[in-house]
């Protein structure tokens, strides 16, 4: 069997989520990528459209925003780069706080996926409630990570 098809080999070579969140290279990617996606999504949602383009413009705008917000949050939660970096902003979350932000970002990102995949099943109320709950829990987790860091930082003696 080819090594790329061997589940054990592939699982051993995958990076640990903790190591990925501790990588300072995630900050520029997340902050810039998230900001660009948010800007493009906001611009699309503000652009006046009529007719057939209205649905697709709104759908693309919502998708970009739902991907941009978690990506931006992950970028802010990433490990602090060296002090001479342009992305050194003084936000350095603990491992638990980073994981809370990452899980929250995943929940926010999966909420529209649940809507897209579940809506054709005919259980619109259940699908909507599930997606809304995922987005709410995800937002709460992202905020919890940053609020915990803020409380920790403010609680430290000067």
Number of H helices, E strands in the chain: 6, 0
Mean pLDDT of 36-51: 85
The structure's pTM equals 0.77
Domain total for the chain? 1
Residue-wise pLDDT for 105-143, tens only, equals 999 988 888 888 888 887 788 888 988 999 999 999 998
Cα distances from 20 to residues 56, 78, 127, 140, in angstroms, run 34, 9, 31, 22
Output the pLDDT for position 93.
Answer: 84
| Distance in angstroms (rounded) separating the CA atoms of residues 30 and 116 | 25
Which residues constitute the domain of residue 16? 3-155
Band of residue 3 on the pLDDT scale cut at 50, 70, 90: low
Output the pLDDT for position 56.
Answer: 79
Residue-wise pLDDT for 65-74, tens only, equals 888 999 999 8
Better-scored residue on pLDDT, 156 or 104: 104
Q: Are 87 and 131 in contact (CB under 8 A)?
A: no
Closest by Cα among 73, 81, 85 to 147? 73
Mean pLDDT of 40-53: 82
Output the pLDDT for position 34.
Answer: 92
| Distance in angstroms (rounded) separating the CA atoms of residues 119 and 128 | 8
Closest by Cα among 87, 57, 85 to 72? 87
């Amino acid at each position: 069997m080819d090594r790329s098809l061997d589940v054990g080999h592939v699982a051993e070579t995958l990076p640990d989520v903790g190591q990925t969140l501790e990588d300072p290279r995630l900050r520029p990617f997340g902050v810039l990528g998230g900001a660009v996606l948010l800007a493009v999504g906001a611009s699309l949602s503000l652009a006046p459209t009529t007719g057939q383009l209205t649905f697709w413009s709104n759908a693309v705008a919502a998708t970009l925003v739902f991907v941009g917000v978690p990506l931006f949050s992950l970028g802010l939660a990433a490990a602090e780069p060296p002090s001479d970096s342009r992305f050194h902003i003084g936000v350095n979350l603990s491992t638990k706080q980073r994981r809370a932000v990452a899980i929250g970002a995943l929940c926010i990102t999966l909420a529209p996926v649940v809507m897209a995949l579940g809506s054709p099943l005919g259980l619109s109320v259940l699908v909507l409630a599930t997606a809304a709950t995922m987005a709410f829990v995800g937002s709460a987790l992202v905020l919890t990570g940053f609020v915990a860091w803020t409380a920790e930082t403010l609680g430290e003696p000067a």
